[in-house]
Amino acid sequence: MILVTGGAGFIGANFVLDWLASCDEAVVNLDALTYAGNRESLASLDGDPRHHFVHGDITDRNLLDRLFAEHRPRAVVHFAAESHVDRSIHGPGEFIQTNVQGTFTLLEAARGFWSSLGEADKKAFRFHHVSTDEVYGSLGRDDPPFTETHLYQPNSPYSASKAASDHLVRAWHHTYGLPVLTTNCSNNYGPFHFPEKLIPLMIVNALAGKPLPVYGDGQQVRDWLYVKDHCAAIREVLARGRVGETYNIGGWNEKPNIEIVKTVCALLDELKPDPAGSYERLISYVTDRPGHDRRYAIDARKLERELGWKPAETFETGIRKTVNWYLEHGDWVARVQSGAYREWLDRNYADRNAA
C-alpha cells in the first residue's frame, strides 16, 4: 500500500493510473478536490478495490493520522500542491497554506507513523516529495541547465512556497532521519491537464475559436516533459533512489512558448482543420505577467547515470499524443470548465492589454 496525495490532479492522477496499470499494489489517494482536482480523471478506476479514494486535506492532521494508522502505507508520494504561478500572484495565501503548512503537517504525520515502525519497516519506508524546477529561479540564454546543486532563487509566490516545502523535506531527513526523496521536474504536459496551463489552454481556446494569449514576446523558454515519462521516473526514484537525495526530471526539450503555441496550431490544422483558416490567426500577444522567469532548463543526467532513466517520448511524439487526447476527450474538457474556471480566466486575462 502506498499513500498518494493530490492523486486527482493532473500529474497525480496520471501517476495513480499508471501505477495501478503496472502493478497490483493498492493506492490510498488523498485529494482535497480543489478546482484542479477532478474525480473524472480517475473514472476508469471506479470499482477497483486497489484504489481507495479519500476526499480530504493534507493540512488535516487528524485525518492523516487516521489514514496512516488504518492503511499503514510503505511509502508516501506527495503531489498535493497549489501549482499555478498566475493564481499565486492573485492569491498567495492559499499557496503558503497548502504547499508549506500542508507539507509540514504531512511530514509530521509521516514521521509519527514511521517512528512507530519496526526497524525493517522503518528502513524500507519512503517519503517522496514531488517538486518543480521553478525553485531554481530563471536562467540566462546561455546559462547551463539546472543541476540538483543549483542555488534556490524562487521568483514567484508559487515557486517560493515550493522551495520552502523542499527545505522542510530536507530538514526532516537531516534532523529526524525520515527517509525522504525529492524530485524536481520541468514543465509537464499530457492527458488530464487542467486547461489553464499553456498547452491545454491553447488547444481548448483554438477549438473554440477564441484568442490564444501569449505573454510578452513569447520567447520564455521551458523544458517540456511528457507526464507519463515523469510518472515512470518517479517510480524509478521511489524504488531505487538514494535516501536523502534530490533528482531532477527533465524531458531534454527546451522550447520557447511561441514555438509550443505554433506547434499546437499546426497539429490542429492537420487533425481538425478550421474552415476559417489556420489556428495561428488566433495568436494574441498580451502583457507579460509580473516577475515572469525567462528560461528554465533541467539537467537530468544524474537520474540517467544513477538509475538509468531517460524519457521515452520526444516532444514531437508527446505533443501529438496530447493534442489527440484532447480531441478525443471533449466531454472531459467541457465538464472541468466550470463557472469558477471561466471566472478565473476572465480575472487573469481581463486586464492584460494586447501587446
158 catalytic? Reply is yes
194-250 tens-digit pLDDT: 887 899 999 999 999 999 999 999 999 999 999 999 999 999 999 999 999 999 999
Q: Which of 31, 82, 158, 313 is catalytic?
A: 158
Highest mean pLDDT among 87-91, 132-136, 340-344: 132-136
pLDDT for res 168: 98
308 vs 294, more confident: 308
Is 298 strand, coil or helix?
strand
Where residue 165 falls among pLDDT bands split at 50, 70, 90?
Answer: very high
CA distance 20 to 150: 34
- Beta-carbon contacts of residue 218 (< 8 Å; ≥ 6 apart): 256, 257, 258, 261, 285
Residues of the chain with pLDDT > 90: what percent?
82
CA distance 42 to 182: 25
Name 354's bridge partners: 286
pLDDT for res 341: 45
CA distance 63 to 195: 30
**What is the rounded average pLDDT for all residues in the chain?**
92
pLDDT for res 343: 55
Contact 320, 313 (CB under 8 A): no
CA distance 146 to 184: 10
AA letter at 229: D
Query: What are the start-end ranges of the H helices in the chain?
Result: 10-22, 61-71, 85-90, 92-95, 103-115, 119-124, 157-176, 198-207, 227-240, 257-271, 301-307, 315-328, 330-336, 339-349
Domain range annotation of the chain: 2-192+223-252+292-313
36 vs 280, more confident: 280
AA letter at 37: G
Where residue 290 falls among pLDDT bands split at 50, 70, 90?
Answer: confident
133 catalytic? Reply is yes
Q: Which helix (H) or strand (E) holds 52?
A: strand 51-55
Is 347 strand, coil or helix?
helix
SS3 for 128-169 is EEEEEHHHHCCCCCCCCCECCCCCCCCCCHHHHHHHHHHHHH
Q: Which of 133, 196, 223, 254 is catalytic?
A: 133
Fold classification of 2-192+223-252+292-313 (topology level)? Rossmann fold (3.40.50)
pLDDT for res 287: 83
pLDDT for res 82: 87
pLDDT for res 294: 85
Q: Which of 31, 86, 134, 148 is catalytic?
A: 134
pLDDT for res 349: 46
pLDDT for res 80: 96
18 pLDDT higher than 90: yes
In the DSSP assignment, the letter for residue 190 is: S
Q: Which helix (H) or strand (E) holds 34?
A: none
Q: Pick the range with the lowest mean pLDDT from 261-275, 284-298, 331-345.
A: 331-345
- Beta-carbon contacts of residue 56 (< 8 Å; ≥ 6 apart): 30, 31, 32, 63
Where residue 6 falls among pLDDT bands split at 50, 70, 90?
Answer: very high
Contact 51, 8 (CB under 8 A): no
pLDDT for res 289: 66
